Amino acid sequence: MSDAAQPSAAEVRAAAEAVKAALDRHLDAVERRSGQDDPAVYAAFDELAAAAEAYDELLYDTYDEVTPFEIPGSDVLPSYAGPEEPSALSVLIRRDYTVVEPQRLLHQAQRIADLDPDAADDVPANGSAGAGASGVVGNSVHAALGVLFGEFEPDEIASRHKEFGLEEGDSTLWVAAADDPAEPGEWLSAPFDQADPQRVVCRFDVSSVFDEELGEDDDDLLEVLDQDR
């Protein structure tokens, strides 16, 4: 950034004052919230996130300094613009996994197939390794996943993922407002194409990037702080 385009000290100070005002509005919204998912709180959160981001950028451009604030995903979801009283909802869920123990997955899937011969019906046609329950899985991870997800609900797989040789990745859940219930079969071919971020009532994200990794020195410091309380 050139010297002529750099923000002035007054602009940085004004941005800092905007953060303070946004903090007050956010706290006021939290204190007055009507429930766990009060839209006023979400709106105040978005305003605070935007003010903090603007201040951080100006502070860096002017003084080459940064703030300790980080609000994950603050620029991903826009302000809610859906109906005030939704008459229908869509719940959108995505969970990512990594197959870290293929042999465990194969073993568990074959065990399911052996106990329930009908599990073979849930395997994709091009994923079968042979005829009958004894050969439904074989060495095919594709077939094993078909058996696993055909037998268990996604929530149960999420709670037992290690048992099936899987490792959790990022996950997200969006609760989106709709004007009317969708017609049967209307969105099944492309379930996420009509997702409108401005109609999301609430959202819950889980990601390793949000976790703070503490080293041994940090653990020792926390122990000292706990002892001082």
59 and 92 both lie in a single domain: no
Q: Is residue 118 part of a domain?
A: yes
Q: Into how many domains does the chain fold?
A: 2
Displacement of CA 108 from its chain's centroid (Å): 28
pLDDT digits (tens, 9 = 90+) for 68-125: 876 555 445 667 788 888 889 999 999 999 999 999 999 999 999 888 766 555 555 4
Can you list the alpha helix ranges (DSSP code H) found in 32-177? 39-63, 102-115, 141-151, 154-159
Q: Is residue 220 part of a domain?
A: no
pTM: 0.54
Q: Is residue 138 part of a domain?
A: yes
Q: How long is the chain? A: 229
Q: Residue 204: beta bridge partners?
A: 173
Per the structure, the complete domain to which residue 41 belongs is given by 9-63
42 and 111 both lie in a single domain: no
106 and 41 both lie in a single domain: no
* Residue 197, φ and ψ in degrees, nearest 5: -55, -30
pLDDT digits (tens, 9 = 90+) for 145-182: 999 999 999 999 999 999 999 999 999 898 999 888 88
